[in-house]
Amino acid sequence: MIKSAIFFFFFLLTLVACNPKAGDKNLQEVVNIDSQPGKIYSINKQIFQDSTNADLFNDRARYYVEIEDYNSALADINRALSLEATNPTFFLTLSDIYMLMRETDKAKESLFKAIELEEMNPEPFVKLGSIHLILTDYAVAIDFLDQAIFLDRVNPQAFFLKGFAYLETGDTSRAIENFQVAVQQDQEFLDAFIQLGALYAGKNNPIALDYYKNALDLQPEDVDLLYAMGMAYQHYNEEVKAAEKYSEILRLDSGFFKAHYNLGYLYLIYYEDFASAIGHFSKTLELKPDYLEAWYNRGLCFEILEKTDSARYDYKKALDIQPNYPKAIEGLNRLD
């Protein structure tokens, strides 16, 4: 998923024979594995017992990818390929490593090799689509993704990436169509639900709320998702539900300044609870002192409460951030 969507890495040591030699430092490191974390301990122990097992080197390469040691990952996958040169899975791992090392051409070469060895596997086509999406070659990306879908119609990742490619070209209708297929095929496809929520919100369609709800069912404590849903509720004039989402965010992350600001705005505009609004705008400004609208809106609250000096101070602070800010100028003029 494009929360993201491509790849992995590190190499502790390279074995050169089935039996360790006393003078070989790398092999001695494998032997001395008692203090290593569980996952790498297990892999190294198996390699020590069978250093001709190519799959184990692939496994360790992927472990190194996880800990972002790409050079070690590359060394291990090359060792796997030296033992088993026609395994397409190893070329997929190699392509992932090259992408993480920002060697795009080598990544593509590895994927074409994987296709040559296993032409009916849709995975390398999906990865090629991902690469061309990153390179902004959208038409090429879609072509590779279509090939992946031809090989496997149940391919939510390919449909998602294809939707993203259409989104980047401005074709929101086709983007929605492909994102919808992705969530139909995988009802836990978080990023597809988020994209659909955002797209329908942009179209002023309340179905956005349903997609955000689906996303929150999967990640109920994701503050960015809660904020997006709060904004959607606010947009559709469901202020109470919006305030609930913003309050929930602050229970999870008291430093989420946008939630404080939006609560301040709701208290100001909808509830006319100016003291509460001032409290939230003040907290916003503690967390983000250059928040122009927070200065102005707090000043407006002070003005309504006839706290003229405080209002004037806030309007001037807004003008320090953005000279000629019309609302702040109008506010000062009202006070004179």
User: How big, in percent rounded to 5, are the helix, strand and coil portions of the chain?
Assistant: 70, 0, 30
Angle at 124 between CA 122 and CA 125, to 5 degrees: 65
- CA–CA dist 244, 152 (Å, integer): 43
Percent of the chain with pLDDT over 90: 88
Q: If you count them, how many residues does the chain have?
A: 336
SS3 of residue 3 by DSSP: coil
Q: What are phi and psi of 9, to 5 degrees?
A: 170, 165
12 pLDDT more than 90: no
Structure tokens given for 319: 């003008």
- What is the predicted pLDDT for the residue at 117? 97
9 pLDDT more than 60: no
Determine the residue type at 136: T
What CATH number has the domain spanning 1-105?
Answer: 1.25.40
- Per the prediction, the chain carries an average pLDDT of 89
The residue with tokens 């494998």 is 30
Question: Which residue stretches of 118-222 are H helix?
Answer: 123-134, 138-151, 156-168, 172-185, 190-202, 207-218
Burial of 11: CB neighbours in 10 Å, binned 0-12, 13-18, 19+: buried
pLDDT tens track for 246-270: 999 999 999 999 999 999 999 999 9
What are the angstrom distances between the C-alpha of 217 and each of 30, 194, 213, 309?
44, 12, 6, 47
- What is the predicted pLDDT for the residue at 37? 67
pLDDT tens track for 196-239: 999 999 999 999 999 999 999 999 999 999 999 999 999 999 99
Q: Taking a C-beta distance cutoff of 8 angstroms, is the pair 40, 60 a contact?
A: yes
Query: Domain limits of the chain?
Result: 1-105
- CA–CA dist 6, 1 (Å, integer): 8
- What is the predicted pLDDT for the residue at 36? 55
CA dihedral 23, 25, 27, 32 (to 10 degrees): 110
- CA–CA dist 169, 192 (Å, integer): 17
- What is the predicted pLDDT for the residue at 38? 77
- CA–CA dist 190, 201 (Å, integer): 17
Could you tell me which residue, 125 or 30, shows the higher pLDDT? 125
Determine the residue type at 52: T
The conformation of residue 35, written as its DSSP 8-state character, comes to T
Structure tokens given for 148: 């992946």
| Per-position DSSP letters for 70-101, written without gaps between them | HHHHHHHHHHHHHH-TT-HHHHHHHHHHHHHT
Q: Indicate the pTM of the whole model.
A: 0.80
135 pLDDT more than 80: yes
SS3 of residue 9 by DSSP: strand
- What is the predicted pLDDT for the residue at 15? 23
pLDDT tens track for 21-70: 333 333 334 444 444 567 888 999 999 999 999 999 999 999 999 999 99
Q: Which helix (H) or strand (E) holds 292?
A: helix 292-304
- CA–CA dist 335, 38 (Å, integer): 68
pLDDT tens track for 161-174: 999 999 999 999 99
Q: How many CB atoms lie within 10 A of CB 46?
A: 15
276 pLDDT more than 60: yes
pLDDT tens track for 74-118: 999 999 999 999 999 999 999 999 999 999 999 999 999 999 999
